[in-house]
């Protein structure tokens, strides 16, 4: 099928608009700084309060803000009980993430359905953090976090939190 000249122009304009739209979305994502490869899903709903422990250092509050999405995603995936999806928030250079995810789901998955208080501890170095999850009913879990290229990950499984 051959297109007429006006039809070719309309097609070229449509392609240009589509490419511009895709490019704009990519630029907006880059400008906003949203480069995390994970995010909250619509369900299951979780109730997670993320706060910094009392500290005289502003780094603690900044770290709490930086890791809050990861902490919520972690709790949501615990509750969902999908070890493969939970392992995806584990630092990619760690091994054994799936086994550790299954163990965490067995131990804390049910408790993740209630309110969770996450207390971000004072960071020792800028690329490492500890978060104490306080589940309804008294269960507690300390989760180690590591950052690489501006993205926070759970130090889940076996590996060096400072990256290989």
**Cα three-residue angle 67-84-141, rounded to 5 degrees:** 45
Give CA–CA dist 107/137, Å, rounded. 13
78 phi/psi in degrees, rounded to 5: -60, -50
d(CA 105, CA 6): 59
Q: What backbone phi and psi angles, to 5 degrees, belong to 84?
A: -65, -45
Residue 43: per-residue pLDDT: 94
- Segments of the chain scoring below 50 in pLDDT: 13, 15-32
Is 114:97 a contact under the CB 8 Å cutoff?
no
Can you give the pLDDT at residue 7? 54
pLDDT value of residue 124: 83
User: Do the beta carbons of residue 30 and residue 98 sit within 8 Å?
Assistant: no
The confidence score (pLDDT) of residue 100 equals 97
What is the Cα–Cα distance from 162 to 89, expressed in whole angstroms?
Answer: 16
Predicted pLDDT of residue 101: 98
């Amino acid at each position: 099928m051959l297109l007429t000249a006006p039809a070719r122009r309309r097609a070229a304009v449509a392609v240009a608009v589509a490419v511009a739209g895709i490019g704009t979305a990519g630029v907006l994502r880059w400008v906003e700084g949203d480069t995390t490869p994970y995010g909250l899903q619509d369900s299951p709903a979780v109730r997670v309060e993320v706060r910094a422990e009392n500290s005289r250092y502003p780094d603690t509050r900044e770290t709490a803000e930086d890791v809050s999405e990861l902490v919520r995603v972690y709790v949501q995936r615990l509750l969902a009980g999908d070890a493969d999806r939970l392992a995806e928030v584990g630092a990619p250079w760690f091994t054994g993430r799936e086994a550790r995810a299954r163990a965490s789901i067995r131990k804390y998955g049910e408790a993740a359905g209630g309110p969770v208080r996450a207390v971000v501890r004072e960071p020792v170095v800028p690329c490492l953090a500890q978060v104490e999850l306080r589940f309804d009913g008294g269960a507690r879990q300390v989760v180690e976090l590591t950052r690489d290229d501006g993205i926070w990950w759970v130090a889940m499984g076996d590996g060096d939190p400072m990256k290989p």
